[in-house]
Amino acid sequence: MPTVFIIMGFIFKFYSNEHNPIHIHVERGGANAKFTIFPVKLVDNHGFKPSEIKMMESIIEDNQEVIAQHWNRYFNKCR
């Protein structure tokens, strides 16, 4: 499970068997969510409050290119 970064206790990561479209999983304190990157959109949420979702969306929007670079580097290396 490659971790892309940790911000404010939110762990942004991929799973090693991911699929397109580019997306990221976020975990913190037993809660988890999944977002697509282009566009930033919530796919699943299990346990996060709306205010936390908004914060994660903002972090992802600010880091879309970084996340895409990590995704492409990791998954192109694994293929």
The whole-model pTM stands at 0.91
Burial class of residue 55 (count of CB atoms within 10 Å of its CB; 0-12, 13-18, 19+): middle
Counting the structural domains of the chain, the total is 1
Q: What distance in Å separates the CA atoms of residue 79 and residue 76, rounded to the nearest whole number?
A: 5
**Are 6 and 17 spatial neighbours (Cβ–Cβ below 8 Å)?**
no
Q: What is the pLDDT of residue 43?
A: 97
**What parts of the chain have a pLDDT lower than 50?**
79
In which domain, by residue range, is 64 found?
A: 3-78
Q: What is the pLDDT of residue 79?
A: 46
